């Protein structure tokens, strides 16, 4: 590799990033990205930070620096959206977000700044679109980081029950803070001359993530009504509502085009719609009403629709057919159909959605064999509240996942907790 000296700050940072379930496969382009975003000293310091959210006091101990100096560095990193700062119980708390959805995107959500975004955009394109190791790893997580929201107007609500967390409108209406930023994917593609003409300023962030990005100018604060209006704009442009794969405190909803979006392009590349958590709905073609116009085929982000002969010799007519395993239930096809020939029906089996970010990250960690990193990372500053939250998630998992968890951490305490839970349930 072209990077300097053994165990450089950047190598240590990559090692730290790979403790998180998502991970970042090393490559020359990755090191170049990190060199643009972090100084070597910053990379070295960030490599020492816990995986879990932390305070200035925790970082001060890890870095062996004064509280004041530590605070200055943390706030500087937060001002560049490399850390997310959140107020918890009146105290400022920081966390290092994963690369996706995280500081990779944040770095290109603001036009301008100190970083050469043209160079950065080209490097991101190389790392994620030319090299495929990172995207393949991201798209093969058993518990995906993102999920599709169905376009609510396409559902016959008298025939189905739509839960609040399934509605993009509900995420917007219940958010404590709403921010709008530049679409990372289309902005990146713009710098390599491959972007489409879909709206750029339409990337939605919510709650604590939005507050942090707004604070440092990476997102613009907007009202609920303004955000709902943008949701309408997204639908008019046949964009997929793609949000964080959790039920509570959703941090983002991207409005994605099929040509630029990392998630949609990546899912098609690995040939698996399961790399995106689908909505609880699936398209159904009403053959009698289908005219074979192919509009639905053009807008489908997952190539789930195609035209086939209807065996009408006289009219030589074709109709649309669905490949069910490729459908993510976004409803874009039903939205463009002018003949009411596509219904969005409830899936026979409900799609599992993690309750919150802790639930999802624990699942991802178990599936990637990295649970020990979550529990034992930075033991000098052990947080029993965090441990309790992680163990609480594990105890509610199916037996197979619990076994995987106990095998990874080799904890007699955890095994006994699981056994006690089983004994209690059997009474």
Q: Give the pLDDT confidence of 10-60 residue by residue, as tens digits.
A: 999 999 999 888 889 999 999 999 999 999 999 999 999 988 888 999 999
Q: What is the mean pLDDT of residues 307-321?
A: 75
112: left (phi over 0), alpha (psi -120 to 50) or beta: left
| Residue 27 falls inside a structural domain | no
Q: In angstroms, rounded to a whole number, what is the distance separating the alpha carbons of residues 255 and 204?
A: 8
Within this chain, do residues 328 and 382 fall inside the same structural domain, yes or no? Answer: no
Angle, in degrees to the nearest 10, between helices 28-37 and 9-17? 100
Q: Supply the DSSP symbol for 396.
A: T
Residue 219 φ/ψ region, left for φ over 0, alpha for ψ in the -120 to 50 degree band, beta for the rest: beta
Quickly count: other Cβ atoms within 10 Å of residue 335's Cβ: 18
- The mean-pLDDT minimum among 61-75, 89-103, 234-248, 367-381 falls in 367-381
CA nearest to 144, candidates 281, 331, 323, 278: 278
The residue out of 346, 365, 386 marking a domain boundary is: 346
In this prediction, residue 162 carries a pLDDT of 72
Q: What is the pLDDT of residues 189-243, one digit of tens each?
A: 999 999 899 999 999 999 999 999 999 989 999 999 999 999 999 999 999 999 9
Is 146 within the bounds of a domain? no
What residues contact 109, with CB distance under 8 A and at least 6 apart? 81, 181, 182, 184, 187, 203, 213, 218, 219
List the domain range (segments joined by +) for residue 385.
357-426
Quote the number of domains for the chain.
2
Domain match, 328 and 364 both: no
Of the three residues 346, 372, 397, the one that is the final residue of a domain is: 346
CB contact set of 159 (below 8 Å; sequence gap of 6+): 345, 346
Phi, psi of 84 (to 5 degrees): -105, 125
Q: Coil, strand or helix: which one is 210?
A: helix
Which of 346, 365, 382 corresponds to the end of one domain? 346
Q: Is the pLDDT of residue 384 over 80?
A: no
What separation in angstroms does the CA of 349 have from each of 281, 345, 346, 359, 407? 10, 12, 8, 21, 30
Mean pLDDT throughout 147-162? 79
């Amino acid at each position: 590799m072209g990077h300097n000296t053994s165990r450089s700050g950047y190598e240590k940072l990559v090692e730290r990033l790979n403790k998180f379930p998502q991970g970042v496969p090393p490559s020359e382009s990755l090191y170049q990205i990190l060199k643009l975003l972090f100084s070597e000293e910053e990379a070295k310091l960030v490599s020492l930070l816990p995986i879990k959210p932390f305070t200035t006091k925790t970082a001060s101990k890890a870095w062996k620096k004064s509280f004041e100096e530590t605070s200055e560095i943390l706030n500087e990193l937060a001002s560049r959206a490399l850390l997310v700062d959140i107020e918890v119980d009146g105290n400022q708390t920081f966390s290092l977000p994963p690369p996706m959805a995280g500081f990779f995107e944040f770095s290109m959500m603001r036009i301008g700044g100190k970083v050469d975004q043209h160079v950065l955009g080209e490097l991101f394109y190389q790392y994620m679109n030319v090299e495929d190791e990172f995207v393949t790893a991201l798209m093969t997580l058993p518990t995906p980081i993102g999920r599709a929201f169905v376009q609510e107007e396409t559902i016959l609500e008298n025939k189905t029950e739509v839960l609040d967390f399934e509605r993009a409108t509900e995420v917007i209406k219940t958010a404590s803070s709403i921010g709008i930023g530049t679409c990372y994917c289309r902005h990146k593609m713009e710098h390599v001359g491959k972007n489409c003409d879909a709206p750029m300023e339409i990337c939605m962030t919510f709650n604590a993530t939005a507050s942090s990005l707004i604070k440092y100018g990476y997102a613009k604060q907007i009202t609920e009504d303004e955000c709902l209006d943008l949701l309408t704009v997204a639908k008019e442009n046949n964009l997929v509502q793609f949000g964080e794969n959790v039920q509570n405190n959703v941090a983002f909803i991207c409005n994605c085009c099929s040509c630029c979006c990392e998630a949609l392009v990546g899912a098609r590349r690995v040939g698996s719609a399961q790399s995106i958590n689908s909505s609880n709905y699936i398209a159904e073609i009403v053959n009698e009403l289908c005219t074979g116009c192919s509009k639905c085929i053009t807008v489908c982000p997952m190539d789930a629709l195609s035209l086939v002969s209807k065996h009408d010799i006289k009219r030589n007519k074709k109709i649309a057919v669905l490949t069910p395993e490729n459908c993510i239930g976004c409803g874009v096809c039903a939205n463009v159909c002018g003949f009411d020939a596509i219904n969005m029906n409830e899936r026979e089996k409900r799609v599992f959605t993690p309750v919150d970010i802790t639930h999802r990250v624990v699942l991802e960690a178990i599936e990637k064999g990295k649970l020990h990193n979550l529990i034992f990372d930075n033991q000098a500053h052990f947080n029993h509240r965090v441990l309790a939250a992680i163990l609480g998630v594990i105890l509610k998992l199916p037996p197979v996942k619990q076994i995987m968890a106990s095998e990874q951490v080799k904890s007699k305490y955890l095994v006994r907790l699981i056994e006690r839970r089983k004994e209690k349930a059997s009474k």
